[in-house]
Amino acid sequence: MTVRNSIHALAGEIVACRRALHENPQTAYEETFASQMIADKLTEWGIPFERGIAVTGIVATIEGERTGSGKTIGLRADMDALDILEKSGQDWSSKTPGKMHGCGHDGHTSMLLGAAKYLSNNRDFTGKVHLIFQPAEESGHGAEKMIAEGLFERFPMQAIYGMHNWPTLPKGVIALNPGPIMASSDTFELVFHGKGGHAAMPESTVDPLVLAAQFVTDVQALVSRCVDPVDAAVVSITNFNCGTGAKNVIADTAILTGSVRAFKPETRAMLERRIGDLAHALAGFHGAQAEYSYTKQCDPTINHADHAALCADVARKTAGEASVITNVLPCMAAEDFGSMLQKVPGCYIWMGQGEPDTPESPHNKGLHHPGYDFNDSIIPMGIEYWVRLVETALGDKSR
Ligand SMILES: [Zn+2]
Ligand SMILES: [Zn+2]
């Protein structure tokens, strides 16, 4: 690993920021503690910024000592927490029961702050960098809201970059790929309207439970039979509600919800259409009616190949040749940074934080696990990656 000493020297201050953020978690658009800390630090370091973009969002801007390139890039960190009761056992555990930084966004925000401090003191680049502190990644469409509030019009940029800590990769490893890395995430709700009645006389009812049960099994054929086997998609039924509580009554409705993941827009559109087709066809067969609503939550995160190549180069210089995976298999979870990549090209990477020699470490627990904690020991590497990325993308010989 090649982290410069002047970045290691920032670690104490940045780790303190991270732990303060961890102790004070807030969820979508309520991240006032993080937003104020960022504003205070940027003010202390003399870095100009604008706040109030998507409520608690902040965009800071640092200009290089040379401006000849005319180029601008964006670096993005998310800053929201989750509705989880923390069980990490760390000294800096959440002070708010039921809220927790269980995805490491406290670490992402802190590493971007570290990069801000370093870059403001070492402006060895040509052009401009916008540092984007985004709210509400987990559930509130924060990226989309920043875009809707003019992120890319107010702060034009030619490229944008993101990162996420990754507990299943060991610390010191950086992984990325030149295409889809995180899936789209959508939800749907189905209501089957049948006709209730006596359990002993099914012929006089339209049983929505049998219909809904058939739907749950048949819908899996969409993934296994209608999606290209080398593409990937997931349809999961997440709630199944039917029945009156009585053991001898057929209910009149069944309500299902589901989650849909895909990478390709055409696969996503096919699933949206055919889940509804299946529901209506099965309802018709049973003499029932289906009400179907589908909600697009999050676009897939698709890296742009030339930016992935640039990030791979930066990652190798940061982590060492042997510690960079450039063709990592994508994850079916979603990340709202995908909607930023739909507007501006760029690349999103995973930074390992696992501690393979300490199996019970909170840093090995999965994202969103109540025992998870961001690994402070990767902070210098995260800052180094951001700084090198700026120096490379905005270097005098940059691509
Ligand atoms: Zn998360
Ligand atoms: Zn996250």
Nearest listed ligand to the Cα of residue 107: 2
Nearest listed ligand to the Cα of residue 374: 2
Distance between Cα 183 and ligand 2 center (Å): 13
Nearest listed ligand to the Cα of residue 367: 1
- Residue 377 reports pLDDT greater than 50: yes
How many separate domains does the chain show?
2
73-96 burial, b if ≥16 CB within 10 A, otherwise e?
A: bbbbbbbbbbebebbbebebbbee
Domain boundary among 270, 298, 326: 298
Band (pLDDT 50/70/90 cuts) for residue 398 is low
Q: Are 37 and 17 in contact (CB under 8 A)?
A: yes
Alpha carbon distance 211, 296 (integer Å): 25
Domain boundary among 231, 266, 298: 298
Distance between Cα 18 and ligand 2 center (Å): 15
Averaged pLDDT, 280-306: 97
Please check whether residues 316 and 190 belong to one and the same domain. Answer: no
Please check whether residues 207 and 260 belong to one and the same domain. Answer: yes
Q: Are 122 and 25 in contact (CB under 8 A)?
A: no
Band (pLDDT 50/70/90 cuts) for residue 198 is very high
The region of weakest confidence among 29-43, 59-73, 354-368 is 59-73
Is residue 399 domain-resident? no
Distance between Cα 291 and ligand 2 center (Å): 33
Please check whether residues 223 and 279 belong to one and the same domain. Answer: yes
The fraction of the chain above a pLDDT of 90, given in percent, is 97
The residue assigned the tokens 């875009």 is 147
Distance between Cα 61 and ligand 1 center (Å): 26
Is residue 398 domain-resident? no
Band (pLDDT 50/70/90 cuts) for residue 1 is low
- Name the H helices within the chain: 5-8, 11-23, 32-44, 105-121, 142-148, 151-154, 208-218, 220-226, 265-286, 305-319, 337-343, 379-393
What is the chain's alpha carbon radius of gyration, rounded to the nearest angstrom?
24
Whole-number mean pLDDT of the chain?
97
The fraction of the chain above a pLDDT of 70, given in percent, is 99
Distance between Cα 103 and ligand 1 center (Å): 5
Nearest listed ligand to the Cα of residue 109: 2
CATH number of the CATH domain containing 169: 3.40.630.10
∠97-257-372 over CA atoms, to 5°?
A: 30
- Residue 304 reports pLDDT greater than 90: yes
Averaged pLDDT, 3-7: 96
φ, ψ dihedrals at 155, nearest 5°: -130, 70
Q: Which structural domain range is residue 330 located in?
A: 5-179+303-393
Instruction: Identify the pLDDT of residue 55.
Output: 98
Please check whether residues 155 and 218 belong to one and the same domain. Answer: no
Band (pLDDT 50/70/90 cuts) for residue 139 is confident
- Residue 82 reports pLDDT greater than 60: yes
Instruction: Identify the pLDDT of residue 399.
Output: 46
Band (pLDDT 50/70/90 cuts) for residue 22 is very high
